[in-house]
Structure 1
Amino acid sequence: MPLSTETAQESFDADWQEWHAAHERHRAHPHGFLAVTHLHWLGSEPARLEGAPGTWSAEDDVVRVVLEAGESLQRDGQELNGAVTLGSIEERGGINLVAGETVIEVAKRGGEYIVRPRNPENGLLRDYQGTPAYSPDAAFAVRGTYEPFEVPRPTTVGAAVEGIQHVYEAPGEIRFKLAGQKLALTAFNGHAPGSLSVLFTDQTSGATTYAANRSLSVVPAADGSVQLDFNRAVNLPCAYTDLATCPLPPAENRLPVAIAAGEKIPYERQDQL
């Protein structure tokens, strides 16, 4: 027997609340991006970095850190001392080192190496009060069709940090209809196997939602059908901190409709409106 409209809405709301609570827990992890205290770009000249032990440099696709007496790092439980060589790291990849309560992220972004200390006592994390979001609305959960390209298309996009670009392999696009309009979104490969990630802006961007980007994860079925639930559109790290290198959406993903669903501008950024 089909659910009544009221019961279906209650179930839809409950599912969203459960999902968003889990997403908030993940976001507020003690060593998540809210814990990032600094963003250091490495060069060939050795330098001390605030928030991390040692003297750091990067050259010939290798990161080097020299730890003085009394300084140490741990990698996968193994203590590192003296002169340490790390590399190479693939683009958008990274490794985590540990120094006391701090996790030291070493990563490659836009062809350059970065170091980002993550400390659970960082004020952004300590004072985090959650992210505002629209009330779930089933009208923004629509069906679409994933259409793979014959050959994945390299797609260059900008970044939240000036001076770097990201290049993604776009395997296809998602076509759907919303607010009476036929629309399409270029999709990138997601983190989970078989998933896709969509970066987009819409007519709420810069007004009630973060101006630069939002992200939506989708999983196509075997027949190419997808569920686009924009109630689950989330902010990227750059919505909270200037220490993030998030990609911007490709030009074709700037939607000409208002998607009043999903996460809104974080409280931390609302004073910048």
Structure 2
Amino acid sequence: MRPRGHLSGRRWKENRVSRISVRGFAVASATAVTTVGAVVGVAAGGEQQSSSDPIEATAADSTLLADIPAGQQAVAQTASLTQQADVQSTAADAEAKKSAEEAARKQAAQDAKAKKAAADKAAAEKLAKEREAKKKQELASRSASRDSSAFPIKASYTTAEVQAMARQMIPGDQFQCFSNIVDHESGWNYQATNPSSGSYGLVQALPASKMASAGADWKTNPATQIKWGLGYMNDRYGSPCEAWSFWQANNYY
């Protein structure tokens, strides 16, 4: 009969193996290992002589590792969790940085688009102003063209003479358009009369008396009719060419 309190060989081995298996977890913690070293030093009573039996030394060491307090095991677990948290935090920081860079890129693209739109608008407004100024300049130039009073008064005028007057009174880039209208309206006959409507002259003014605003001799002086016709086209359509465009679409102006 074995004395009480004495473990059988099998139970002693199971207990010993159980204690040794704990070693793997204990070694995972640097803090625990350091503590184990301290415990070993105390257990050895300060003796520096190592065991001559490797198996006994290992068994003793394993037993001591198995006896590490639960608090120190918690330290090892805490260290592992802290490391995981650090990794997750680093990944979150990288993702946040990436998101911020993407947002900045999108904002820069939007700013560039808005800047371009503003520049295009300013350029369009500038172009419109330049065109308006050019148009006014052209109108002023036309007004400064040779006046009807500069031509000598004659009893009658040939078609060539009437056309020569028109060339001197109308800007070069507008003459052909003016000529196209006169060709269709009167055939350059300054005395042409429409019997049904009463329109009269080179540009077939209706009523004919409107041409008196350009001169009292509107009935007999083609230069006076040209002056009135040019003024009418400029005021109503902007230029003889604009008047000709309207005429082509409507067969009148």
TM beyond 0.5 = no
Structure 1-normalised TM-score?
Answer: 0.21
Higher Cα radius of gyration: 2
Structure 2-normalised TM-score?
Answer: 0.22
Greater strand proportion: 1
